[in-house]
């Protein structure tokens, strides 16, 4: 039991801070290389409005399933400044197919490249898909891991909530 003590204390410490509702977690201003070669930072992407970050790979089944909905939301709420940034984690093994996959689907959302999970590790997006919804002020509003069919409704609700198109009270009715 003594061996576990440092770990338990560490988890408790982190959990205590994690439940500190008054403290806003601000997303770090990480550099992202986009698929078209452009380099941009996360805070630059937040200039116009909120941002939804999703970590994905071409071999990840649930990632591909949720993509069509995320592209739909990216287009539907773009007039409110909302953007979706899909951060790809394909290794060089399948990196050659990322562009053809995206272009064949004609997706409009932004594609970031993170082949050795530098960004994913900094944002703890190691499970795919991991969604991170960031408000325009940079504060992380919501995190979500995995995707099951039907969860797209909750994702859209959270986006609408952050855009002020829905209120918290309507959450139960919506879901």
Partner 1 sequence: MKHYISLLLVSILFSADFDYNASIITNFGDNYDFYSYAENQLNLNLFYKDIEAWVQYEYSNPPEIGFTMNDIRKFRIEYSQDDYTVKLGDIYEIWGRGLVLNQFDDQSTNFDNGIRGLFLGYEKGPLTLNHISGNAEIWNFGPDLRTPYYNNSHNVIANHIQYDWASYSLGVSQLLSKEVHQKVFGSDAYVNHSLKGIHGSWTLNNADIYLEYVDKISTEKLNLLYDGPHDSLKTGHGFYGNMNFYFGNFGLSTEYKRMAFDVGHSDFTADDYGNRIAFQAMPTLGREQNSTLLGRVAHQFNFNDERGVQISLNGTLLNVNIVSQYAHLSRNEEWQSLTLFNWINSSIEGYLPSSDPSALPYWENYHEINGYHLNDKLYFKLGRGENKDILKTLRYFEGEGISVNETWIHTDSTEWQDDWVYLDSSLVGVDTFVYKVESKMWQVSKAITYPLELSYSFNNGYNLAINFEYQEQTKQNISKGNSKLYSTSDSSWTLINPDNPDSFFVQKDNLFSYGTKQIDTQINRLVSLTIGNASKWSITFTHDQTNAFSGPTTIDPFYNPLEAFIYGDLKYFTGKRNKIEPPAFIQNRWVSMEVAYNLTSSQRISILYGSLQGGLYCSNGVCRQIAPFNDGIKLSYFAIF
When binding is defined by CB under 8 A, the residue of 44, 48, 76, 91 that contacts partner 1 is 91
| Positive or negative torsion for Cα 42, 40, 36, 88 | negative
Residue 141: strand, helix, or coil: strand
Alpha carbon distances (Å) from 76 to 94, 95, 126, 142? 30, 29, 28, 20
Euclidean distance between CA atoms 151 and 134, whole angstroms: 18
Nearest CB to partner 1, comparing residues 37 and 79: 37
When the beta carbons of 36 and 79 are compared against partner 1, the nearer one is 36
- Cis geometry, peptide bond prior to residue 129 (ω within 30 degrees of 0): yes
**For residues 26 and 49, what is the distance between their CA atoms, to the nearest angstrom?**
15
**Which residues are catalytically annotated?**
60, 63
**172 contributes a contact to partner 1 by CB under 8 A:** no
Strand segments, DSSP code E, in 83-161 are 83-88, 110-113, 130-134, 140-145
Residues in contact with partner 1, shown as a per-residue x/- string from 143 to 162 under the rule CB under 8 A: xxxx-xxxx-xx--------
Q: Nearer Cβ to partner 1, position 12 or 165?
A: 12
Which residue of 1, 3, 21, 22 would you call a contact of partner 1, by CB under 8 A? 3
Q: Does 174 bind partner 1 (CB under 8 A)?
A: no
Q: Give yes or no for residue 136 binding partner 1 (CB under 8 A).
A: no
| Residues forming the site for partner 1 (CB under 8 A) | 3-4, 6-7, 9-11, 13-15, 17-18, 25-26, 28, 36-37, 58-61, 65, 68, 90-97, 99-106, 115-118, 121-127, 130, 140, 142-146, 148-151, 153-154, 175
């Amino acid at each position: 039991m003594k061996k576990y003590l440092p770990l338990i204390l560490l988890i408790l410490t982190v959990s205590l801070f994690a439940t500190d509702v008054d403290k806003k977690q601000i997303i770090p201003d990480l550099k992202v290389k986009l698929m078209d070669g452009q380099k941009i930072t996360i805070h630059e992407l937040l200039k116009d409005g909120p941002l939804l970050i999703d970590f994905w790979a071409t071999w990840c089944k649930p990632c591909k399933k949720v993509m069509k909905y995320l592209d739909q939301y990216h287009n539907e709420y773009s007039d409110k400044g909302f953007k979706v940034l899909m951060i790809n984690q394909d290794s060089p093994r399948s990196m050659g197919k990322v562009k053809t996959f995206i272009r064949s689907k004609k997706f409009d959302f932004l594609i970031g490249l993170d082949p050795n999970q530098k960004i994913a590790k900094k944002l703890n997006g190691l499970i795919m898909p991991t969604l991170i919804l960031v408000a325009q002020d940079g504060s992380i509003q919501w995190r979500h891991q995995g995707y099951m069919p039907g969860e797209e409704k909750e994702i859209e609700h959270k986006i609408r909530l952050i855009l002020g198109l829905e209120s918290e009270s309507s959450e139960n009715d919506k879901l």
